[in-house]
Homo-oligomer: A and B are copies of this chain.
């Protein structure tokens, strides 16, 4: 059996667009941000519990709502990541970061 194709950031944005694009666009950035915040709160709670399956679902929700806001505001997440992290740590420029923590450029 062959491995399934890895899920790319563009696949994720396209999946969310296909499922929810019209209503996401109608809701707009502000309302969508409030949904993201609700899910971030649920992620915070799940991180304090010992239930891996529930934790996975909360990560999925936060990521889905982040992809949604990116869709609504016209941002391509892959392009964003490549610009910011494609050359290594933005602080020190290395792929094994040598900043004190994760400093900003």
Within 8 A of B (CB), among A36-93: 36-37, 40, 43-44, 47, 52, 55-57, 59-64, 66, 69-70, 73-85, 88-89
Q: Are B47 and A73 in contact (CB under 8 A)?
A: yes
User: Within the oligomer, what is the number of copies of this chain?
Assistant: 2
Q: Are B23 and A81 in contact (CB under 8 A)?
A: no
Chain B residues, CB < 8 A from A33: 44, 47
Range for the number of chain A residues in contact with chain B: 35 or more
Q: Which of A40, A56, A101 neighbours the largest number of chain B CB atoms within 10 Å of its CB? A: A56
Residue of B nearest to A79 (CB): B56
Q: Which of A60, A62, A83 neighbours the largest number of chain B CB atoms within 10 Å of its CB? A: A60
Name the 7 nearest CB pairs between A and B, nearest first: A6-B8, A60-B84, A56-B80, A60-B80, A7-B78, A59-B80, A19-B97
